[in-house]
């Protein structure tokens, strides 16, 4: 089932605050969407390459270096190099990594050297309207991702982004259909939402202007007008008590919801970066725009990373405990599976758009 028949649906996971589980979210959501029958391409654009390491099971920089030595022509940087370095060959799809244990899930590997293109991209995005030599740069990342996604028949493209407000992130948000904002229950996430209320509308205005430039429209790699919409937040990394966030975390969760409703949501509404209220309602998304509340994985995250498998897909044999502890961890994996399944359903519903929301789909049940 393809959400968008014209091209794969792109979702950027973005927050310029670090430590909010962007990479973990991309991996778990990507796996779940693939489990639900979609073909998914995860794109690692973070210079730290944590998603690549997670998928490949790398334990150190030596393994990443070996991967580059053997597959250096199959990374996000190599994909866009023809445009950035003026090479006499077109941008083409690159070979993806098929994620072990999950059919339909692929990775476009990250590359620390992508950060070297930040300055060039920044100059191109500011001056491409007047300097013809730079016209192919702004749209090159979009083109490379699309070509690679189409080569595997992807339905969804999930983009793991670095924390920051540089040119690469501006470009990635501008070329995406949707944005999901992972947050943690703390003061800095509240501040980040306030900042995003200014940043995202400004980036939307820039992307719209770029898409309307004749020189970029006529480029070998045109800059697309994706009309980016924000789907909501994923609230993570809190400790539960009796099935609910502990009081100290609940305070910040409430603050995040208030900040979204009072500051970020009005700004996004004004800039045209939200779907219709009916779309969110039908997907079971409340006014605080939280798509899911995901508690801390605790010790299971280490097991997950060891086996390059999402927490909810760990088997009993992979969890190194016995007795009551094992039973508790198995219950946790089952709970996380249900939570990520609900999250995937919300994403499916919000992105299944063909001109307007598909109203034939049943509402998503909200678990209390």
Q: What is the pLDDT of residues 329-348, one digit of tens each?
A: 888 899 999 999 999 999 99
Which residues span the domain enclosing 30?
9-357
pLDDT of 353 reads: 53
pLDDT of 324 reads: 60
Residue 236 lies in a domain: yes
Tracing tokens 């003061």 back to the chain, one arrives at: 187
Residue 273 lies in a domain: yes
Ranking 23-37, 174-188, 288-302 by mean pLDDT, the lowest is 288-302
Closest CA to 54 of 343, 328, 307, 346: 307
Residue 63 lies in a domain: yes
Residue 366 lies in a domain: no
Residue 198 lies in a domain: yes
Q: Residue 96's Cα: distance from chain center in Å?
A: 17
Residue 179 lies in a domain: yes
Residue 20 corresponds to which tokens in the numbers above? 């909010």
The dihedral over CA atoms of 263, 266, 267, 270, expressed in degrees to the nearest 10, equals -170
Q: Helix or strand or coil: residue 248?
A: helix
Residue 1 lies in a domain: no
Mean pLDDT of 163-189: 95
pLDDT of 287 reads: 86
Residue 41 lies in a domain: yes
Q: Which DSSP state fits 219?
A: S
Asked if residue 141 has pLDDT above 90, the reply is: yes
pLDDT band at 151 (very low <50, low <70, confident <90, very high): very high
Residue 95 has a CB neighbour count (10 Å cut-off) of 16
Asked if residue 26 has pLDDT above 80, the reply is: yes
What are the pLDDT digits (tens) for 58-105?
877 788 888 888 888 899 999 999 999 988 789 999 999 999 999 999
> Domain holding 172: CATH number?
3.40.50.300
Q: Are 45 and 161 in contact (CB under 8 A)?
A: yes
Mean pLDDT of 235-263: 86
pLDDT of 366 reads: 39
What are the pLDDT digits (tens) for 105-122?
999 999 999 999 999 999
Q: Are 35 and 103 in contact (CB under 8 A)?
A: no
The DSSP-derived string for 170-194 is HHHHHT-SEEEEEE-SSHHHHHHHH
**Mean pLDDT, all residues of the chain:** 89
Residue 136 corresponds to which tokens in the numbers above? 């192919």
Residues 124-132: contacts with CB under 8 Å, at least 24 apart: 125/167, 125/170, 125/171, 125/206, 125/210, 128/210, 128/213, 128/215, 128/216, 129/213, 129/215, 129/216, 132/215
Residue 79 corresponds to which tokens in the numbers above? 């994909």
Ranking 35-44, 122-131, 142-151, 157-166 by mean pLDDT, the lowest is 122-131
Number of domains, the chain: 1
Helices (H), 219-361: 247-259, 265-270, 277-282, 300-307, 323-351
What percent of the chain clears pLDDT 70, i.e. is strictly above it?
92
Torsions phi, psi for 230 (to 5 deg): -95, 125
Q: What is the radius of gyration, based on Cα positions, of the chain?
A: 20
pLDDT of 128 reads: 59
What percent of the chain clears pLDDT 90, i.e. is strictly above it?
69
Residue 277 CA to residue 1 CA, distance in Å, equals 24
Tracing tokens 């400790």 back to the chain, one arrives at: 239
């Amino acid at each position: 089932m393809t959400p968008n028949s014209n091209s794969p649906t792109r979702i950027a996971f973005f927050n310029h605050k670090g430590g909010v589980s962007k990479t973990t979210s991309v991996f778990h959501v990507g796996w779940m969407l693939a489990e639900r029958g979609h073909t998914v391409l995860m794109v690692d654009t973070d210079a730290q390459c944590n998603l690549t390491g997670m998928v490949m099971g790398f334990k150190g920089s030596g393994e990443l270096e070996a991967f580059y030595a053997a597959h250096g022509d199959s990374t996000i940087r190599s994909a866009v190099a023809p445009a950035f370095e003026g090479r006499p060959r077109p941008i083409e799809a690159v070979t993806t990594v098929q994620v072990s244990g999950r059919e339909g899930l692929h990775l476009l590997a990250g590359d620390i050297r992508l950060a070297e293109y930040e300055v060039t991209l920044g100059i191109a995005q500011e001056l491409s309207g007047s300097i013809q030599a730079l016209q192919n740069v702004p749209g090159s990342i979009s083109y490379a991702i699309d070509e690679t996604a189409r080569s595997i028949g992807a339905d969804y493209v999930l983009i793991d982004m670095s924390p920051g407000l540089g040119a690469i992130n501006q470009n990635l948000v501008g070329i995406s259909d949707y944005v999901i904002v992972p947050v943690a229950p703390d003061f800095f996430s509240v501040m980040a939402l306030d900042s995003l209320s200014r940043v995202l509308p400004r980036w939307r205005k820039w992307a719209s202007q770029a898409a309307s430039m004749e020189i970029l429209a006529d480029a070998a790699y045109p800059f697309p007008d994706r009309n980016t919409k924000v789907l909501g937040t994923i609230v993570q990394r809190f400790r539960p008590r009796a099935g609910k966030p502990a009081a100290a975390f609940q305070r910040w969760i409430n603050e995040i919801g208030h900040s979204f409703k009072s500051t970020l949501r009005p700004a996004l509404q004004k800039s045209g970066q939200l779907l219709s209220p009916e779309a969110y309602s039908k997907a079971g998304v409340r006014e605080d725009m939280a798509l899911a509340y995901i508690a801390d994985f605790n010790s299971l995250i280490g097991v997950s990373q060891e086996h390059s498998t999402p927490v909810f897909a760990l088997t009993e044999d992979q969890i190194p405990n016995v007795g009551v502890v094992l039973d508790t961890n198995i219950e946790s994996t089952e709970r996380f599976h249900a939570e990520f399944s609900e999250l995937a359903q919300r994403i499916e519903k919000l992105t299944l758009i063909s001109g307007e929301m598909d109203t034939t789909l049943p509402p998503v049940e909200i678990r209390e």
